[in-house]
Every structure is written in structure tokens, then in C-alpha cells.
Amino acid sequence: MDVEIRLEPGRAAPKVLILTGEMNETVAELARRLSAVESRFLAGRRGDEVLLLDPAQVRRIYAQGQQVLARTEGETVLLKNRLYELEERLAGGPFLRVSHGELVNFDHVRSLDLSMAGTISLRLDNGDAAFVSRRNMGRIKSYLGI
């Protein structure tokens, strides 16, 4: 594989062009990896302050009204992204959609309450609770191996 870097004064963001004779799995994987390269932080707002959140520290991300909020150990931060965008961005990690309006970081789930018929209540390490909708029950049970 040849790699060429061309400098273009005035260009604000890098552009990657893949030239190939045929589409194959190697090229598709390369394109996928290049597309996934993004900042590892989530940008959130608290008043006039922009905060960079490490996704590993975020317990849950949820929609409330027209806003998307991220809950960390001790605070709630407003995010600019839509929930589906964050779900795509965080795919393949510990974040799973548990309901229409919520993603949960399963690295911070401490217990599950199965006592309510037809639902699972998740207790997070910061004291928050989240409920798994019936639609997402199978995926969560599969992820947890139960």
C-alpha cells in the first residue's frame, strides 16, 4: 500500500482519499477505521463553560425534553449531539441503548433488579437507576449473558 501526504495551505481539516482498483474487505476496513477516528472526548456544556468528558466517566446519556444530557459521578452536563449520533459514535463499547431515550455505560452498572415483571431496573455506581424497555430486553440479556 502506498501512502502519500500532500500539504494544502489553507485547508482546515484533513481529507483522506482512497484510490483502489477494486473494493475488498481490506479497503472497507481501512475506510471504516478512518471514518471512526474522532476525538475520544464528548463535548458538553455547563453554563458558558465547555467541558470535555471522557466517555469512560459517563454513567448514562439520556434525553429530557429537547435536550440530551450526560450524567457523570456527580454532575449532569448538556450535550450538543443527538442520542442516535452518540449511540453510533459509542458503538462497540460498554454503552448500550436501554430505552428509546437512554444509553447506559455497563461498566458502571452495579446491580440488576429483576423483581418487576417484564422489566429490568439497573442500579449504577453513582446511585442513578435506569429501566430497560421491553424492546431492548433481549439485547441487554444477551450482552449480560443472562
Q: Answer yes or no: is 2 within a domain.
A: no
CATH of the domain at 52: 2.40.50.1020
Q: Other C-beta atoms within 10 Å of 81: how many?
A: 16
Do the Cβ atoms of 18 and 4 come closer than 8 Å?
Answer: no
Q: What pLDDT sits at residue 40?
A: 76
Q: What pLDDT sits at residue 68?
A: 97
Q: Answer yes or no: is 59 within a domain.
A: yes
Within 8 A by CB and 6+ apart from 37, the residues are none
Q: Answer yes or no: is 83 within a domain.
A: yes
* Three cell numbers written together for 85: 449520533
Q: Answer yes or no: is 65 within a domain.
A: yes
Q: Answer yes or no: is 88 within a domain.
A: yes
Q: What pLDDT sits at residue 120?
A: 86
Within 8 A by CB and 6+ apart from 64, the residues are 101
**Selection from 64, 61, 106, 107 nearest residue 84 by Cα:** 61
Ranges assigned E (strand) in 26-107: 42-46, 49-53, 60-64, 67-71, 76-79, 95-99, 102-105
What pLDDT tens digit does each residue of the chain (146 aa) get? 777 888 888 877 677 888 889 989 888 888 777 766 555 788 898 888 888 899 999 999 999 999 999 999 889 999 999 999 999 889 888 999 999 999 999 999 999 988 877 788 999 999 999 999 989 988 888 888 88
Rounded Cα gap, residues 100 and 31, in angstroms: 30
Q: Answer yes or no: is 128 within a domain.
A: yes
Range of the domain at 108: 42-144
What would the DSSP string read from start to end of 108-132? Answer: GEEEEE--STT-EEEEETTS-EEEE
Rounded Cα gap, residues 41 and 65, in angstroms: 24
Q: What pLDDT sits at residue 30?
A: 80
Residue 91, helix vs strand vs coil: coil
Q: What pLDDT sits at residue 146?
A: 81
| Verdict on whether the full-model pTM lies above 0.85 | no
Structural domains counted in the chain: 1
Q: What pLDDT sits at residue 111?
A: 93
